[in-house]
């Protein structure tokens, strides 16, 4: 049978232990295709190595900001879970992004590496089109890319800094939600949309006005989108990490993050008394992306060791 006509059905189309709910992730697999209108450096498809015999993919997941930190851990976890993975980051992160693609190949997943700036609408549209053309659809969108400035004091934050933070953390997440939703609604098989908020998007801290406000915005966007997209069997949720050991945190504090006073304060504030690793966040996103999470929507799940309790 030609691969392009093969229907991959990873899950039954209905569940019986509740209202009849169509589950996502019925995908039509398509072979990787080169787009002659695009520069080869824009996108690279990593087909499976011939020796690998992969399990039937659970669907296609796209992760933005996948070159490092939390996004990298999410991409690797979803690959391990059985999704084919679209890896997205900015061109400056090409080396790291290709490394993640190589690691995914080892677990037998098809991957696409795509370079897009989530602030730019045309690039987000192209990003989705590219993934659909090369992996056959989109079932899980993880709008993870985000930035933080070291000082967000309300007394000194400039309009430029405010706008720069919102361009990535607000507009970027909105664009990823919007174009993923358009694709998923058109596909008609449900889906999962997941965004990066923050513990500071649930309970603000001082000296981070732009960052906290942008992460509160992700929660509002997530709730509104969840209400609108529910009838399409698309769930929309966010994750809210506490301070997590990633390049973002190290850049703000110290490469030797665990030895800093800041890390000691962060750890003290948790119930569990250790500093989060990116894999701790990825484990929660893995659940939100799974078929089992189909009755969870509009939520913002704290992954902060018990720092913020509600």
Ligand X SMILES: NC(=O)c1ccc[n+]([C@@H]2O[C@H](COP(=O)([O-])OP(=O)(O)OC[C@H]3O[C@@H](n4cnc5c(N)ncnc54)[C@H](O)[C@@H]3O)[C@@H](O)[C@H]2O)c1
- Give residues in contact with ligand X (CB under 6 A): 64-65, 67-71, 89-90, 93, 117-119, 144-148, 168, 172, 196, 198, 241, 243-244, 246-249
**Active-site hit among 25, 115, 211, 239:** 211
Within the chain, strands assigned E span: 7-9, 26-28, 43-46, 59-64, 83-89, 111-115, 140-143, 191-196, 234-241, 300-303
The closest of 152, 144, 160 to 65, measured between CA atoms, is 144
**Active-site hit among 58, 93, 202, 215:** 215
Token pair of 141 as six digits: 């969108």
Within 161-307, strands assigned E span: 191-196, 234-241, 300-303
Helix axis angle, 94-106 to 69-81, nearest 10°: 20
125 is catalytic: no
179 is catalytic: no
Q: How far is residue 230 CA from its own chain's centroid?
A: 19
**Residue 130 Cβ, how far from ligand X at the closest point, in Å?**
14
Which of 49/92 has CB closer to ligand X? 92
H helix or E strand, kind and range, residue 227: helix 209-229
**CA dist 232 → 13, 150, 223, 290 (Å):** 14, 40, 15, 16
Residue number closest to ligand X, CB atom: 146
Token pair of 130 as six digits: 């590219």
Which of 23/221 has CB closer to ligand X? 221
The closest of 24, 58, 59, 73 to 196, measured between CA atoms, is 73
Q: How many residues make up the chain in this entry? A: 310
Active site residues: 211, 215
């Amino acid at each position: 049978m030609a691969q392009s006509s093969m229907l991959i059905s990873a899950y039954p189309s209905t569940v019986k232990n509740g209202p009849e709910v169509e589950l996502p992730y019925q995908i039509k697999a398509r072979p990787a295709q080169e787009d002659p209108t695009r520069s080869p450096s824009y996108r690279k498809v990593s087909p499976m190595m011939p020796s690998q015999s992969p399990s039937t993919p659970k669907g296609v997941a796209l992760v933005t900001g996948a070159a490092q930190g939390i996004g990298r851990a999410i991409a690797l976890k979803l690959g391990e879970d059985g999704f084919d993975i679209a890896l997205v980051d900015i061109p400056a992160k090409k080396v790291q992004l290709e490394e993640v693609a190589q690691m995914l190949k080892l677990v037998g997943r098809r991957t696409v590496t795509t370079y897009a700036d989530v602030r730019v609408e045309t690039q987000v549209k192209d990003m989705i089109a590219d993934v659909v053309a090369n992996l056959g659809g989109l079932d899980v969108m993880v709008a993870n890319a985000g930035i933080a400035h070291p000082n967000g004091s309300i007394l000194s934050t400039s309009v430029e800094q405010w706008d720069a933070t919102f361009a990535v953390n607000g507009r970027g997440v909105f664009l990823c939600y919007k174009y993923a939703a358009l694709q998923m609604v058109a596909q008609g098989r449900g889906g999962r949309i997941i965004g990066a908020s923050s513990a500071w998007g649930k309970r603000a801290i001082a000296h981070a006005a732009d960052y906290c406000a942008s992460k509160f915005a992700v929660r509002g966007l997530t709730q509104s989108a969840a209400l609108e997209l529910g009838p399409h069997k698309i769930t929309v949720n966010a994750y809210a990490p506490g301070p997590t050991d990633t390049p973002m945190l190290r850049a703000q504090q110290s490469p030797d993050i665990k030895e800093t006073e800041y890390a000691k304060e962060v750890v003290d504030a948790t119930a569990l008394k250790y500093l989060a690793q990116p894999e701790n966040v990825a484990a929660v996103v893995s659940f939100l992306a799974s078929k089992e999470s189909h009755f969870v929507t509009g939520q913002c799940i704290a992954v902060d060791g018990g720092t913020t309790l509600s």
